[in-house]
Chain A
């Protein structure tokens, strides 16, 4: 199955600033997914990132707040913009493992963001 390197693993940021999270996959994948996991909550999909096109955002998430780049088939970034304490959460990227992984998703190790 794919291996994902996600960084940073954690950060403490001042409100009003932005943080960019990077995910590097060791193989080419069509779609990459960005999730948020708030304390005690389920993983919530933020957006789906396709290479060469704009990301598709889920209800409640907008591009101005969470801009995503997908410059090639192995890399994506998620930026959390103009942060507030409510953005404190774990952010995860993932890919669909496909048939080789019995269609399970592979996740990065997550970025634990604290906004102060």
Chain B
């Protein structure tokens, strides 16, 4: 597709359940980022993938969070044993080789009840 696609667009889950969020970046974009946006807050960096390099996981808030990327394509962000404070919009972005501007997806709005 022409843009960054994220699915699902909305997810409501019960506390303690695991969730998996998906991101399809723009074809040819080697860099992929996950950010979290809580209500009234800025974008919080979670993880960065660049080509075949080891991912920069320094923003993951706890070991309940993990992410994978298959080559230079799809990425999944997994949150295990969800907590209410995990409720937020999770945004994925991609860019050419990590330089230039990011192209963001529309995000996944996660609500933990």
A and B together in one complex: no
Spell out B's residues near A (CB within 8 Å).
none
Spell out A's residues near B (CB within 8 Å).
none
